[in-house]
Amino acid sequence: MKFEFSQFGHRIGGPSGIGELMEDLGNALSSGRTDLKMLGGGQPAHIPEVNALWRRRMEEILAEPGGLEKTLANYDPPRGNPAFIAALAGLFQREFGWQVSPRNFAITSGGQTAFFFLFNLLAGTMPDGRRKKILLPLVPEYIGYANQGGSGDLFRAVPPRIEKTGPHEFKYRVDFDQLEVTDDIAAICVSRPTNPTGNVLTDDEIARLSGLAKSHGIPLIIDNAYGAPFPNVIFTEATPVWDEHIILTLSLSKIGLPGARTGIVVAHPDIADAVAAMSSVVGLSNPNIGQAIMRPMVEDGGILRLSNEVVKPFYIEKSRQAQGWVREFFADRFDYYIHRSEGALFLWLWFPGLPVTAKELYERLKQRGVLIVPGHYFFFGLEDEDWRHRHECVRMTFTMDEAVVRDGIRIIGEEVAAIWGR
C-alpha cells in the first residue's frame, strides 16, 4: 500500500541531515559496539561531577513528600513550571539586570522544538500571501534548522569571510558588506557558539546584528544552546545579551540533561505567549523532569557555578586534547585547517582541495567505524550550491572517551592521507 503525504509531510517526514545524524548517534549509543568511534553527534559528555549532581537531585525529589508525583504524574502549564520560570526571571534580573518577568519566558520540549515553533511562527507564508524568510548572516549554521520550514524553504544565508588565523587554523567572520535585510526577511538568526564550527560571534558582531534587526523592526534570534550564561561552553569572551527585540533560546541539554528535553525561550511577551500556545497544541505541556532537577540551582545561582567551574573547564581541556591529536596525526601529510575552537563541543575541519566530497569521506570513515558529519549539510540557504568549500569540511565532536576521540582522529588522518595517495 502506498500512502500520499502532504507537502508538510514530505518536508518534515522525509530524509534530512539532522535525521541522518541522530540515526547514527542513536544507533551508535544503543548498539553496544565497542569498535564504533562516535564523533558525529552533539551528545554531551558524561561528566562525573555533573552526573553525581543529577543523582543527588533525583534522590532529593524522591525524598520530598509528593515530589515524585508532582514531577512525573502531573501536567505543567504549556508555558512551563511556574516556579521554574519565576526562578529564571529572578536569575536574569539579579545577575544581568535584564528587565524580564515570567511573561518573557516559555519552556519547550528541547531547543529543537523551540526553533520549529519560532521559525514557523515568524516566517513562511504570511496572512497576506507574502513569503518571508529567516536570514542567516553566517554559514555554516546548525544542521537542525535546515528542514524545519513547514511550508517550504525558510532560509537565506550569506557566505562568510574566511580568515586564516594561524598555521592550520582559520575563522569565519560575518561579511557585513554582503549582509542585506530586505523586506522579505522575518528575523535574523545566529547560534553562539556556532554549531558546527565552535565560532563565537564577537560582542561587536552581535551588537551590529542587533542594531540591524532593531532598525528593520524584526527579531534577532540567538541560539544559546552552548552559550552564556549556561552551559557557558565558551572558551573566549562573550557577553550575554537580551533586549525586547532579541529572542534568546537556552537549553539544559549541553549542561548534561539531553534526555530531559528542556528548552527555554526568552522573548517579548507576545512571542513567549505564542510559543506557549504552540506547546499546548503540539504536545499539551512540556517534560517536567528537567525543570524539577534544575529549579533549586537556578534559584540560588548554582547553575552558573556549575557551568563556569565544572562544565566549561572540562570542555576546554577536551578541545585542547583533540586539537593536539589532530596536529599529531595529520602533521604535514596533507593540507588542513581547524576552525578556531572558541566554544561548543566540536572541531570543524577543512581540507582544501579534497579530491572527494565530504559525503564520500563520511562514507569511507563509516566503513572503518568512525562517524563524523559531512559539512555540506550545514551550508543551507545559499544560492551558490556548488561552492566547493562546503564539500571540503567535516564536523567531529570531542566529547567521547579520550581513547575513542584519539583513535577516531587517527583514522580520519589515515583516510584523508589515503585519499590524497600519501
- The cell for 214 is 532593531
Give the Å distances, CA to CA, from 64 to 70, 181, 189: 10, 53, 41
Least confident of 40-44, 92-96, 327-331: 40-44
The answer on pLDDT for 383 being more than 80 is no
pTM for this one? 0.93
Q: What is the pLDDT of residue 27?
A: 61
Q: Locate cell 518573557: which residue? A: 104
Q: Are 372 and 396 within 8 A, CB to CB?
A: yes
- Mean residue pLDDT across the chain: 92
Q: Please report the pLDDT score of residue 422 as a whole number.
A: 63
* Section 20-35 average pLDDT: 59
Alpha carbon 186 to its chain centroid, in Å, reads 21
**DSSP label of 400:** S
Residue 50: alpha-carbon gap to chain centroid: 20
pLDDT of residue 296: 96
Handedness of CA 223, 226, 231, 232 (dihedral sign): negative
Instruction: Assess whether pLDDT exceeds 80 at residue 143.
Output: yes
pLDDT class of 405 with cuts at 50, 70, 90: very high
Bridge partner residues of 370 (DSSP): 37
Q: Which residue, chain included where needed, has cell 540551582? A: 297
Cα–Cα distance for residue pair 353/164, rounded to 1 Å: 16
Give me the mean pLDDT over the 115-126 stretch.
Answer: 93
Contact 291, 262 (CB under 8 A): yes
What structural domains does the chain harbor? 7-51+306-420 (3.90.1150.10), 76-301 (3.40.640.10)
Tell me, what's the pLDDT at 346?
97
Give the residue among 337, 350, 354 at the shortest CA–CA distance from 422.
Answer: 354
Buried b (16+ CB within 10 A) or exposed e, 138-166: bbbbbbbbbbbbbeeebbbbbbbeeeeee
Give the model's pLDDT for residue 13. 73
Confidence band, pLDDT 50/70/90 cuts, at residue 273: very high
- DSSP assignment of 323-336: HHHHHHHHTTSS--
345 secondary structure, DSSP code: S
102 touches 253 (CB < 8 A): no
Split at pLDDT 50, 70, 90, the class of 159 is: very high
Task: Calculate what percentage of the chain has a pLDDT beyond 90.
Answer: 81
Query: What is the per-residue pLDDT for 8?
Result: 73
Give the number of other Cβ atoms within 10 Å of residue 26's Cβ.
Answer: 12
Query: DSSP 3-state helix, strand, coil percentages of the chain (rounded to 5)?
Result: 45, 15, 40
pLDDT digits 0-9 by tens, 282-323 = 988 899 999 999 999 999 999 999 999 999 999 999 999 999
